[in-house]
Amino acid sequence: MLQLTFALCAFSCRAVPVQTPESCSPSTGVVQVAAGVYVRPGHAAVVFEGDEIANIGFVVGDRCVAVIDTGGSLAEGQALDCAIREVTERPVCYVINTHVHPDHLLGNLAFKRPGVEFVGHAKLPRALAMRGDTYLERASAYESRALHESIFVFPERTLTSVIQLDIGERVLTVRAHKSAHTDHDISVVDEKTKTAFLGDLVFLEHLPVIDGSINGWIGELEAMTSESLAYVVPGHGPVRALWPSAAEPTLQYLTGLRENVRAWIASGGDLASAQDNIDQPRSEEWLLFDRYQRRNVGAAYAELEWED
């Protein structure tokens, strides 16, 4: 397989495609997970250490197209835009950002044009403003070019509860969640096919990462499991999974971690020792465990130590 990859690359690298405004390079691997619902698959990697990390996608209505997350760079956003044009001539009218993390949001700029409305959680602007400097620095280093803060496109329409967007004979239910994976997660349900883009409320394969509230996240996921959905698109992992079974690995990890961290706090152990010692729950499924477990223990500890 590796050899094949080498061979393919060696062959095609010689041919530099001519870039004209009319031609573009669409994202590859885009799959239709339900009628009119498309996902560009992500591949587990640490942010700013890889490309195409998150599952991102779009839903095609009779009137226009809604994009849900735009990828980790302008180039990824442009490739998604291009992939959309291969599927439909209808214009993009909404970009919905599930949360602030750069692997989901830094492709926004590719869609900034008249007729496109950016939608996000009411707390997304603050979250982006707080992290902007760090993201700019890391993105510039990763892309080896000086990026300007104009790469950040803030939502024009923000929500604190639930709104519905009509994209033409097709309604999307956009929901703002309580603090969970982040303090500003958004999920999107395509009512026509009952397919839900859950952003990083659900991880498969890629270890869940806590940047909001472990208690909140468990609460939101438990409440959501009673919803009747046909399919969900997790933020990481396979492009499509069944509901509510798709929530189980994330829930098991979070509840197990919470139990371990609570026990550590109760025994008087401090944060540093918790990070050095808590290496459970671990399952073979989780990728990037060594990169994110310490962070998760720290985030969980800092929250749970305030429980009475």
Residues that bind other proteins (CB under 8 A): 5-6, 8-9, 11-13, 17, 25-29, 46-49, 51-52, 101-103, 123, 125-126, 128-131, 133-135, 137-138, 144, 154, 179, 182-183, 209-213, 216, 268, 270-272, 275, 291-292, 294-295, 298-299, 302-303, 305-306
Q: Compute the distance between CA of residue 114 and CA of residue 92 in angstroms, rounded to an integer.
A: 10
Q: In terms of CB distance, is 138 or 194 closer to other proteins?
A: 138
Block residue for tokens 């041919």 = 15
Minimum distance of other proteins from residue 190's CB (angstroms):
25
Shortest distance in whole angstroms from residue 12 CB to other proteins: 5
**CB-wise, 11 or 148, nearer to other proteins?**
11
CB of 302 to other proteins, least distance (A): 5
Specify the residue, 130 or 162, whose C-beta has the smaller distance to other proteins.
130
Of residues 225 and 275, the one with the C-beta less far from other proteins: 275
> Considering the complex, what minimum distance in angstroms separates the CB of residue 230 from other proteins?
28
Instruction: Count Cα neighbours of 16 within 13 Å in the Cβ-side half-sphere.
Output: 2
Min dist CB 198 to other proteins, Å, is: 18
Q: 109 vs 189, which CB is nearer to other proteins?
A: 109
Side chain identity at 188, as an amino acid letter?
A: V
